[in-house]
């Protein structure tokens, strides 16, 4: 007889709870859905947004035999949305890849990490609380990541690079922020490979007549009739040949109104709308930066949040957001103010704009939002890595599918070349990027840093003192320097020692040079709050009741419940949140129709 307290039993109970929530939600929703006269509805469901969550929801609806209209204001070239541009990282628990690397993970350890990271504190036990459904979504998602997530995706043809990455290593306490073990699984083929199986399913449904694409259809209103959602209205935009990620025209050439008993909003976040980012910027993260680079295309504008709120939806946790501290200005931009993030290994020294070294936990790869606050507290909107060629050759990776042609194109030879040479995209940024300073001596480096910013804030003697102090800590296998401890900890993990951490060395060792300084900008990226939803993806109103006929998934819903991540993310959970919430909403809506 199975022990009722075993992890397996817990996972099965949680899976039944989630499934029960979907079924119960569908039954309640079916009672509330409008009874359209025969032929009066244009489809069984309308999905607003052709990103990953929208594709997953549409695929689920079509698989259930439902007729779907998939609307997007962008041209067809942007199908897949932000996910296409991503590195393809997915959060998995106790996976085959982890076990191969000797990592001991469990649902209990992951849940401990999630709670310590999320910091839910807004009415977890109160059905009216902002974190009530967020917490439930978090539980369900952790069960999904430990359970069927990998087998479901594997069955769709998705595969992963065998070395598991260790992102967000935390704030220093076992029960605090961060991943206790590596959980960042890089998809073989990066973001496009995550999008591919769902796009194939949807295109097959288009061919069979179950799905109709409505590109260049901008939704301006969610229509309610008698308190029930009955469709959408908006503008038809002029045709556009804009390439993926490029800004498209907003010129309207007509109007439309489409009717369906279900509308699923999957429109993404606010990352490209800096005005909205600053409007929602919380005091706990300091003063909003005057200058930021943009990590998402211009269409990630947040406009559907207000439109859905006008239809009765409740927005929760709007002050929770996730922006990166290691942004580079793209020398070859695709969208306006295009920023690329460095995914750093543990060895670069990190200084504020004045040349003061950050202390723990503000080290590369440890605690993104804590470091963000430290940067804003400095009074400047940028910071510095001071590093070596030896470090960037092994430790620097760039976010984005287009910055990783070896992984994206599944080119094994090019991938293996990382062993003996610095990846070409890194070298191109070092040569062409405006944020890099390369020098043969520290004095030359400081001169270049001050010239780049024009601030003259870096003092050679002060920077040299701090670097030499750190370098002295390398002489012994033990140290009081927390970052050096972290480097040795990383080298103890086979995955890091093979691919992500340079052999420990002194920054001023001439054989490791040249010296490199990298100006780091704040890069906007993810919205952690949003439309509050129950476990069926039904959008809730201010009283906590579902808005009949209205669902949401993906980033616009805080990746589920209006804030599944709480205050902070464990990384690898954004694409996964789109997958899980899109699947939940699609299945529940299909059952309700």
Is the distance from CB of 553 to CB of 578 less than 8 angstroms?
yes
Helix then strand then coil, % of the chain, to nearest 5 = 40, 20, 40
pLDDT in tens, 535-557: 999 999 999 999 999 999 999 99
Task: Read off the pLDDT of each residue in 306-329 and give the average, rounded to a whole number.
Answer: 98
pLDDT of residue 17: 46
Say which residue, 271 or 19, is predicted with more confidence: 271
Statement: residue 24 has pLDDT above 70: no
pLDDT of residue 16: 45
Beta strands in 190-274, from DSSP E residues, in sequence order: 211-215, 217-225, 228-237, 252-259, 263-265
Phi, psi at 527, each rounded to 5°: -100, 125
Task: Read off the pLDDT of each residue in 9-30 and give the average, rounded to a whole number.
Answer: 50
pLDDT of residue 492: 96
pLDDT of residue 5: 39
Provide the whole-model pTM: 0.94
Statement: residue 9 has pLDDT above 50: no
Percent of the chain beyond pLDDT 90? 91
Task: Read off the pLDDT of each residue in 242-263 and give the average, rounded to a whole number.
Answer: 98
Percent of the chain beyond pLDDT 70? 93
pLDDT of residue 419: 84
Torsion-angle region of residue 227: left (phi > 0), alpha (psi -120 to 50) or beta?
left
Could you say which DSSP state residue 314 is in? P
Task: Read off the pLDDT of each residue in 209-235 and give the average, rounded to a whole number.
Answer: 98
pLDDT in tens, 283-304: 999 999 999 999 999 999 999 9
Residue 326: Cβ within 10 Å count = 26
pLDDT in tens, 346-367: 999 999 999 999 999 999 999 9
Task: Read off the pLDDT of each residue in 362-389 and give the average, rounded to a whole number.
Answer: 98
Statement: residue 196 has pLDDT above 80: yes
Statement: residue 133 has pLDDT above 60: yes
Phi, psi at 15, each rounded to 5°: -60, -40
Statement: residue 45 has pLDDT above 70: yes
Helices (H), 296-396: 303-310, 368-377, 389-395
Instruction: Indicate if the alpha-carbon torsion angle 426, 166, 89, 318 is positive or negative.
Output: negative
Average pLDDT, the chain: 94
pLDDT band at 22, cuts 50/70/90?
A: low
Residue 98: Cβ within 10 Å count = 19
Task: Read off the pLDDT of each residue in 409-414 and give the average, rounded to a whole number.
Answer: 92
pLDDT of residue 420: 85
Torsion-angle region of residue 65: left (phi > 0), alpha (psi -120 to 50) or beta?
left
H or E segment at 582? Answer: helix 574-592
């Amino acid at each position: 007889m199975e022990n009722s307290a075993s992890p397996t039993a817990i996972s099965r109970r949680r899976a039944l709870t989630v499934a029960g929530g979907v079924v119960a939600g569908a039954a309640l929703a079916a009672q509330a859905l409008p009874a359209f006269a025969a032929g009066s509805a244009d489809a069984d469901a309308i999905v607003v947004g052709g990103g990953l969550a929208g594709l997953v929801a549409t695929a689920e609806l079509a698989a259930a035999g439902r007729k779907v209209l998939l609307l997007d204001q962008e041209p067809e070239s942007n199908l897949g949305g932000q996910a296409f541009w991503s590195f393809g990282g997915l959060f998995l628990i106790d996976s085959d890849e982890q076990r191969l690397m000797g990592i001991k993970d469990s649902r209990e350890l992951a849940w401990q990490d999630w709670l310590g990271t999320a910091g839910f504190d807004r009415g977890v036990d109160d059905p009216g609380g902002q974190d009530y459904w967020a917490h439930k979504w978090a539980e369900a998602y952790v069960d999904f990541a430990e359970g069927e997530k990998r087998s479901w995706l594997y069955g769709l043809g998705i595969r992963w690079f065998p070395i598991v990455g260790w992102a967000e290593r935390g704030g220093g306490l076992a029960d605090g922020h961060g991943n206790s073990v590596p959980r960042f699984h890089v998809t073989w083929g990066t973001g496009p490979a995550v999008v591919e199986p769902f796009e194939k399913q949807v295109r097959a449904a288009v061919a069979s007549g179950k799905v109709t694409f409505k590109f260049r259809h901008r939704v301006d209103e969610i229509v309610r009739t008698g308190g029930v959602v009955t469709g959408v209205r908006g503008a038809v935009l002029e045709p556009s040949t804009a390439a993926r990620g490029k800004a498209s025209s907003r010129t309207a050439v007509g109007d439309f109104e489409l009717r369906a008993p279900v509308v699923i909003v999957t429109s993404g976040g606010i990352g490209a709308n800096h005005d909205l980012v600053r409007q929602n910027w919380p005091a706990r993260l300091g003063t909003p930066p005057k200058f930021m680079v943009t990590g998402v295309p211009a269409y990630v504008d947040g406009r559907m949040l207000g439109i859905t709120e006008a239809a009765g939806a409740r927005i929760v946790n709007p002050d929770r957001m996730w922006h990166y501290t290691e942004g580079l200005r793209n020398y070859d931009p695709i969208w306006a103010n295009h920023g690329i993030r460095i995914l750093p290994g543990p060895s670069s020294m990190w200084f504020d704009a004045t040349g003061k070294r950050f202390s723990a936990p503000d080290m590369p790869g440890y605690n993104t939002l804590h470091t963000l606050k430290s940067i804003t507290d400095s009074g400047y909107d940028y910071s510095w890595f001071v590093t070596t060629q030896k470090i960037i050759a092994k430790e620097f990776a760039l976010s984005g599918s287009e910055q990783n042609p070896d992984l994206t194109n599944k080119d094994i030879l090019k991938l293996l070349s990382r062993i003996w040479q610095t990846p070409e995209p890194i070298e191109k940024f070092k040569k062409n990027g405006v944020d890099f300073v390369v020098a043969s001596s520290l004095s030359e480096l400081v001169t270049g840093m001050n010239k780049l910013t024009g601030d003259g804030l870096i003092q050679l003697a002060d920077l040299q003192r701090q670097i030499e102090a750190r370098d002295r800590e390398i002489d012994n296998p033990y140290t009081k320097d927390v970052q050096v401890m972290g480097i040795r900890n990383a080298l103890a993990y086979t995955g890091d020692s093979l691919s992500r951490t340079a052999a420990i060395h002194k920054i001023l060792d001439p054989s490791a040079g040249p010296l490199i300084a990298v100006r780091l900008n704040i890069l906007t990226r993810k919205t952690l709050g949003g439309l509050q939803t129950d476990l069926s993806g039904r959008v809730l109103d201010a009283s906590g009741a579902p808005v009949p006929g209205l669902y949401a998934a993906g980033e616009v819903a805080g990746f589920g419940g209006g804030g599944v991540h709480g205050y902070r993310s464990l990384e690898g959970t954004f694409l996964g949140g789109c997958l899980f919430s899109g699947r939940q909403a699609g299945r529940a809506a299909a059952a309700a129709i």
